[in-house]
């Protein structure tokens, strides 16, 4: 377990959420780990899924698409466009989950990499959603996963959801 704790800020009724975490590495390296197609699959995505980088065009305007594959072979695609990649301090991109029933639920993500004393880095990821519903849905999707892990009874329900996707 790391001594660096992940903080989630999601105030009720707001369209945004923050993910905040500090790392024991200089920000050049942290930025690299966030942008290098060889490094990303090694940490991005839930630990019980495999992550594949389908597309990752470097720099401003570049397209990206990642695929998470679960153990039972279900694929979850995510894609978007890089709005700004300013090494090593800022990444701004759009983000859309392809598994939703309709298109258009886009998220604007800004990752700020802040250099801290002692060659440490603070990362703040702000996600701005189109609606409060979109945001809550996204946060709850993380929860659904956890629920399935702990309540086997809900397997069936989850199965249904996957089929819908």
DSSP state for residue 100 in the 8-state scheme: S
Q: In terms of CB distance, is 2 or 72 closer to other proteins?
A: 2
Residue 145 contacts other proteins per CB under 8 A: yes
Min dist CB 58 to other proteins, Å, is: 18
Helix residue ranges per DSSP H, the chain: 27-35, 40-43, 132-150, 155-164
CA distance 125 to 122: 10
Residue 73 contacts other proteins per CB under 8 A: no
Calculate the alpha carbon distances from 2 to 101, 111, 115, 129, 149 in Å.
Answer: 37, 21, 19, 29, 22
Min dist CB 61 to other proteins, Å, is: 26
Task: Look at the chain and count its residues.
Answer: 165
Residue 83 contacts other proteins per CB under 8 A: no
Residue 37 contacts other proteins per CB under 8 A: no
CA-based max dimension of the chain: 49
- Helix 155-164 to helix 132-150 angle (10° resolution) is 140
Residue 122 contacts other proteins per CB under 8 A: no
Residue 71 contacts other proteins per CB under 8 A: no
Q: Which residues bind other proteins (CB under 8 A)?
A: 1-2, 4-8, 10, 19, 21, 23-25, 29-30, 32-33, 39, 42-47, 132-133, 136-137, 139-140, 142-147, 151, 154, 157-158, 161
């Amino acid at each position: 377990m790391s001594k660096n704790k992940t903080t989630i800020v999601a105030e009720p009724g707001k369209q945004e959420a923050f993910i905040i975490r500090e790392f024991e590495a200089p920000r050049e390296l942290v930025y690299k780990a966030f942008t290098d197609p060889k490094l990303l699959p090694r940490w991005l995505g839930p630990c019980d899924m495999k992550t594949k980088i389908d597309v990752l065009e470097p720099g401003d305007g570049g397209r990206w698409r990642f695929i998470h594959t679960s153990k039972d072979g279900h694929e979850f695609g995510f894609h978007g466009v890089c709005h700004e990649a300013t090494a090593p301090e800022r990444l701004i991109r759009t983000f859309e989950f392809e598994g939703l029933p309709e298109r258009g639920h886009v998220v604007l993500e800004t990752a700020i990499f802040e250099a801290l004393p002692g060659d440490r880095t603070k990362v703040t990821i702000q996600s701005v959603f189109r609606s409060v519903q979109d945001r809550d849905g996204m946060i709850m999707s993380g929860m659904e996963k956890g629920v399935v892990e702990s309540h086997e009874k809900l397997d069936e329900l989850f199965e249904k959801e996957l089929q819908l996707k």
